[in-house]
């Protein structure tokens, strides 16, 4: 320990603080963080440090719902998940994959894995953000939440289908109808909740100590209604504050930690890069994502075909038209200008999906605050704006859906029309 | 019957959609329960019927010696919580008075009488107004509802208050308590909130409130007995407990600090140290190339999907437009060719990604949701850009907003399902051999699912050859 400190102090001239403090801050900031001693033992690959690190990595890498689970799975299952998750993340070192899953050794490798995760992104902040205490009535204005709902449920295909291997189309129709009904239910429940929240905000007007908010949220009112029950909320809040303070301290001191990690990496024995003998960990579960690849690839290919079919005749017609005309400089400059404009438009289009998200667009969770209509803007997002954006998005999506449905209608009509002896009367288009 | 793998995929997809919907519903219902409970009359935390002797202690009484206690109502026993069986009807006010420990003064008794009369009158008026049946039956209950709730705000506000303020309470009492520690501002606020409340509704028992407020010394026991604490009437008088407020403000301060440190460290020693470490990790493991994470792949897949729809939309626009002169025609041509090139590029990227995934053996995310630390929504990536507020001005507006959100989510799901159904069912229809009644009914079903989302059906008539 002393040796390390001296080394670090020599190395880090302007280093902010000492290594033990940095490690202590890190261990305080992590949820179920191991003691600083564990970190030091891990550098020397001591086996007793391994279980704590496996557990920590499991906690960090498992999705939100699992992180709060009451009974963590067995150590072997934890280890397997950690390995799989790190591989998913693209962890570069193969040594991790070769560690035994009973948690008996590998602390140095696990320490490296943890530091790798810490270096790539602001891990601590994200860990805290995902379990952040929400004191207000939060509403999501982006669609990430929807995707998360969807993804969480199509992660693993329903393996227990067994007896239902062949279903009738009527079962599919029934499921669709059930889905439609559930959505309607959801909408009406949501409307009721909004009405109630609005009332709560109205009735508690003027109570909040924070003037910019003006009224209490349902969570805060609940604190007042049930003080004993809300002691837990207070505790969680204070715990979060402790973690946050530790994170702030860690940010100040982390330089020495990274210098130390360099030395840890140096103590690892050099590994001969093994070419292709990657052991396969996961059993080959049918990957739902394979279906998604197919879908997207198929769509894209079909689109390209259609574009070609649309462009080629036009090109031919144009060539024929232009053949007779004279080529003067004005003409070619006009041509070039046109090409540039079109190029810019297409670049903008590409940017629209490349960026993923329009940064100006609102994103994430917002706290609902009731305010007078004439209130000065700048306090926050106005509901009217969001409604406008949502309406246009809705129109876009409806157009897309109609287009798809129209496509199906045409195709089926064509198919059925070709059959002799039957008259096909399609349903009226809405 | 549908073929096995087709069935499996369809059912899995639909079940997934149903589960997602059910999950939303569950979360919503949880919040709905909370909201409903808040808007009803607030129940006491410890019901009086539970323990007869629990009353005063459980309610966090702050009686200190030396202060004139509220007088014991003659009908109740001085110290003990009156047994429920005895104290059904008239006992409501008595419960409040059961805190007493010393003998009442005559002045207290007089004031008490006045208050009791006022309250009883209020109760009568209230009975006329409220639709709650039961003569005095709500009274004991509501009496007991008031006590703990009204005790608690003052209890929480004066946690360490040792100046022996009697804390039996009513909201006006609560007002007194709040005024004392924090001056000025709350006072103003409470006054204005009082203006806003329609105190004139009936003969409100809190009418003695203003009178009470002036007396900072121990007033007689509050007689809010007949009125339950409802958010509607007294919501504006609430105040969050001090400990809570402190914790909340510290919380927002720390988050702001964190976000500022995040944005500030762009190219300093720490970042370079981190990049160096990452590079070292990469090279130490051999030439496997930069690792793509499953999350990144999925994000790119999503982007390509979006690209597909955007390109298609644009194509529809161009194809539908009728060019009037050569310029527009040319423009249309260039656009279409440009779109074609983009589509080709996207396809290439798709193949590349697929190859990379296969090579790296990136499995799917091991446990269902990718709602993990490592692929956050904007809320996670930018944890504290100040408190982000969404301002709405009326219930209607809020409901519209939320309904539109759900509609967008539903449409997204519907589009996805439509694509899945098209991919699975259209090939089936194409490969039909003979056209008997079963195949026809399959066709009808497929048509209704794909073209009308299952709401309408086409008709098939068999054209019998005449003769």
DSSP B119-170: HHHHHHHHHHHS----SSTHHHHHHHHHHHHHHHHHHHH-TT--S-------
**Contact with chain B for residue A189, Cβ under 8 A:** yes
B82, B51 in Cβ contact below 8 A? no
At how many degrees (to 10) do helices A231-267 and A123-130 cross? 160
> Rounded to an integer, what distance in angstroms lies between the CA atom of residue B131 and that of residue B146?
19
**Contact with chain B for residue A28, Cβ under 8 A:** no
**Contact with chain B for residue A47, Cβ under 8 A:** no
Alpha-helix runs per DSSP H in B285-373: 294-320, 326-360
B288, A272 in Cβ contact below 8 A? no
What is the sign, positive or negative, of the torsion defined by CA atoms of B79, B84, B88, B92? positive
What φ, ψ does residue A95 adopt, rounded to 5°? -60, -30
Question: How many Å separate Cα B243 from the centre of its chain?
Answer: 23
> Rounded to an integer, what distance in angstroms lies between the CA atom of residue B231 and that of residue A39?
52
pLDDT at B97: 38
DSSP letter, residue B235 = G
pLDDT at B368: 39
Inter-chain residue contact A221 with B327, CB threshold 8 Å: no
Question: How many Å separate Cα B221 from the centre of its chain?
Answer: 37
**Contact with chain B for residue A360, Cβ under 8 A:** no
A81, B372 in Cβ contact below 8 A? no
Burial class (CB in 10 A: 0-12, 13-18, 19+), B378: buried
Residue entry with tokens 């207000």: A136
pLDDT at B65: 45
pLDDT at A387: 93
Q: Which of B70, B62, B53 is nearest to B167 (CA)?
A: B62
pLDDT(B221) > 50? no
**Contact with chain B for residue A242, Cβ under 8 A:** no
- The residue among A139 and B172 whose pLDDT is bigger is A139
Chain A stretch 203-222, residues whose beta carbon is closer than 8 A to a beta carbon of chain B:
203-210, 212-213, 216, 218, 220-222
Average pLDDT over residues B34-59: 57
> Which residues neighbour A378 within 8 Å (Cβ) at sequence distance 6 or greater?
none
Token pair for B179: 């005024």
> Rounded to an integer, what distance in angstroms lies between the CA atom of residue A299 and that of residue B343?
10
pLDDT at A12: 44
- The pTM of the full predicted model, rounded to 2 decimals, is 0.69
pLDDT at A327: 66
> Which residues neighbour B327 within 8 Å (Cβ) at sequence distance 6 or greater?
A334, A338
What is the sign, positive or negative, of the torsion defined by CA atoms of A122, A356, A359, B384? negative
pLDDT at A147: 63
Nearest CA in chain A to B196: A205
Range in A161-170, B442-451, B455-464 the model is least confident about: A161-170
pLDDT at B429: 87
Inter-chain residue contact B281 with A204, CB threshold 8 Å: no
Residues of chain A with C-beta less than 8 angstroms from the C-beta of B403? 187, 190-191
pLDDT(B11) > 50? yes
Token pair for B173: 């009492």
pLDDT at A98: 85
Of A90, A157, A342, the CB nearest to B292: A90
pLDDT(B20) > 80? yes
pLDDT at B356: 78
> Rounded to an integer, what distance in angstroms lies between the CA atom of residue A265 and that of residue A92?
13
At how many degrees (to 10) do helices B138-157 and A218-225 cross? 100
> Rounded to an integer, what distance in angstroms lies between the CA atom of residue A248 and that of residue B261?
8
Residue entry with tokens 């990604």: B353
Starting at the edge strand found earlier in the chain, the sheet holding A365-370 runs A138-140, A365-370, B389-392, A381-382
> Which residues neighbour A84 within 8 Å (Cβ) at sequence distance 6 or greater?
A281, A282, B363, B366
B4, A164 in Cβ contact below 8 A? no
Q: How far apart are the first and last CA of chain A?
A: 76
In which residue ranges of chain A is pLDDT below 70? 1-17, 64-72, 144-164, 270-290, 324-327, 356-360, 374-377, 430
> Rounded to an integer, what distance in angstroms lies between the CA atom of residue A430 and that of residue A335?
43
A192, B35 in Cβ contact below 8 A? no
> Which residues neighbour A328 within 8 Å (Cβ) at sequence distance 6 or greater?
none
């Amino acid at each position: 320990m002393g040796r390390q400190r001296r080394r670090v102090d020599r190395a880090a001239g302007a280093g902010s603080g000492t290594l033990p403090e940095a490690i202590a801050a890190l261990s305080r900031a992590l949820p179920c963080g191991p003691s600083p001693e564990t970190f030091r033992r891990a550098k020397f690959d001591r086996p007793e440090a391994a279980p704590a690190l496996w557990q920590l990595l499991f906690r960090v890498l498992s999705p939100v719902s699992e992180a709060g689970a009451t009974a963590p799975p067995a150590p072997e299952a934890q280890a397997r998940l950690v390995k799989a998750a790190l591989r998913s993340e693209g962890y570069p070192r193969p040594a991790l994959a070769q560690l035994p899953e009973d948690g008996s050794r590998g602390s140095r490798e696990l320490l490296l894995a943890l530091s790798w995760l810490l270096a790539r992104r602001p891990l601590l902040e994200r860990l805290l953000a995902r379990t952040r205490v929400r004191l207000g009535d939060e509403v999501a204005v982006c669609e990430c939440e929807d995707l998360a709902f969807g993804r969480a449920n199509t992660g693993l295909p329903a393996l227990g289908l067994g007896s239902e291997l062949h279903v009738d189309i009527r079962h599919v129709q029934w499921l669709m109808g059930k889905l439609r009904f559930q959505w309607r239910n959801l909408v009406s429940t949501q409307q009721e909740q909004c009405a109630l929240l609005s009332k709560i905000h109205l009735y508690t007007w003027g109570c909040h100590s924070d003037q910019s908010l003006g009224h209490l949220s349902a969570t805060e009112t609940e604190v007042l209604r049930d003080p004993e029950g809300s002691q837990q909320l207070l505790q969680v809040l204070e715990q979060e504050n402790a973690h946050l303070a530790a994170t702030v301290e860690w940010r100040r001191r982390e330089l020495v930690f990274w210098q130390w990690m360099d030395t840890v990496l140096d103590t690892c024995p050099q590994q001969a890069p093994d070419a292709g003998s990657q052991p396969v960990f996961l059993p080959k579960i049918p990957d739902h994502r394979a279906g998604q690849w197919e879908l997207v690839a198929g769509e894209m290919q079909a689109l390209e075909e259609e574009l070609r079919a649309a462009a080629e005749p036009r090109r031919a017609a144009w060539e024929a038209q232009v053949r007779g005309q004279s080529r003067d400089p004005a003409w070619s400059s006009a041509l070039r200008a046109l090409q540039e404009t079109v190029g810019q438009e297409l670049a903008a289009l590409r940017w629209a999906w490349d960026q993923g998200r329009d940064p100006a667009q609102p994103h994430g969770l917002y706290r609902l605050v009731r305010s007078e209509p004439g209130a000065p803007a700048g306090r926050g997002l106005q509901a009217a704006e969001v409604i406008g954006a949502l309406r246009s998005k809705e129109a876009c999506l409806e157009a897309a859906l109609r287009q798809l449905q129209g496509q199906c209608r045409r195709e089926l009509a064509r198919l059925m029309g070709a059959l002799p002896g039957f008259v096909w009367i399609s349903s009226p288009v809405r | 019957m549908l073929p096995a793998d087709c069935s499996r995929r369809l059912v899995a997809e639909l079940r997934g959609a149903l589960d997602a919907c059910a999950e939303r519903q569950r979360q919503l219902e949880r919040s709905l329960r909370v909201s409903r409970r808040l808007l009803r009359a607030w129940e006491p935390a410890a019901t009086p019927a539970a323990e007869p002797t629990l009353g005063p202690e459980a309610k966090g009484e702050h009686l200190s010696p030396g202060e004139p206690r509220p007088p014991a109502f003659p009908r109740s026993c001085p110290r003990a919580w009156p047994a429920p069986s005895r104290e059904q009807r008239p006992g409501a006010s008595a419960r409040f008075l059961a805190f007493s420990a010393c003998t009442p003064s005559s002045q207290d008794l007089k004031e008490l009488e006045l208050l009791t009369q006022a309250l009883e009158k209020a109760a009568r008026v209230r009975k006329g107004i409220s639709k709650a049946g039961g003569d005095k039956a709500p009274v004991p209950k509501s009496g007991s509802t008031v006590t703990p709730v009204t005790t608690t705000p003052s209890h929480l506000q004066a946690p360490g208050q040792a100046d022996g303020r009697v804390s039996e309470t009513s909201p006006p009492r609560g007002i007194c308590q709040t005024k004392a520690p924090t001056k000025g501002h709350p006072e103003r606020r409470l006054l204005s909130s009082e203006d806003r409340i329609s105190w004139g509704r009936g003969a409100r028992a809190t009418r003695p409130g203003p009178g009470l407020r002036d007396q900072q010394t121990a007033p007689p026991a509050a007689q809010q007995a007949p009125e339950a604490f409802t958010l509607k009437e007294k919501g504006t008088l609430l105040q969050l407990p001090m400990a809570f407020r402190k914790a909340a403000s510290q919380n927002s301060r720390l988050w702001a600090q964190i976000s500022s440190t995040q944005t500030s460290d762009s190219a300093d020693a720490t970042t370079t140290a981190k990049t160096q470490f990452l590079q070292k990790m990469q090279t130490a493991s051999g030439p496997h190339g930069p690792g793509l994470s499953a999350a990144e792949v999925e994000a790119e897949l999503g982007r390509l999907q979006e690209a597909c729809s955007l390109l298609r939309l644009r194509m529809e626009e161009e194809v539908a437009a009728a060019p009037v002169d050569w310029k527009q025609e040319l423009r249309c041509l260039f656009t279409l060719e440009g779109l074609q090139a983009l589509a080709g590029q996207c396809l290439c990227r798709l193949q590349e990604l697929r190859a990379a995934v296969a090579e790296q053996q990136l499995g799917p995310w091991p446990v269902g949701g990718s709602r993990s630390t490592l692929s956050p929504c904007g809320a996670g990536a930018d944890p504290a850009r100040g408190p982000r507020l969404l301002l709405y001005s009326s219930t209607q507006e809020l409901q519209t907003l939320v309904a539109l959100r759900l509609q967008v989510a539903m449409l997204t799901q519907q589009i996805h399902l439509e694509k899945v159904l098209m991919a699975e069912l259209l090939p089936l229809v194409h490969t039909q051999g003979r056209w008997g009644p079963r195949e026809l009914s399959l066709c009808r079903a497929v048509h209704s699912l794909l073209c009308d989302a299952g709401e309408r059906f086409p008709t098939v008539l068999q054209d019998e050859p005449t003769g």
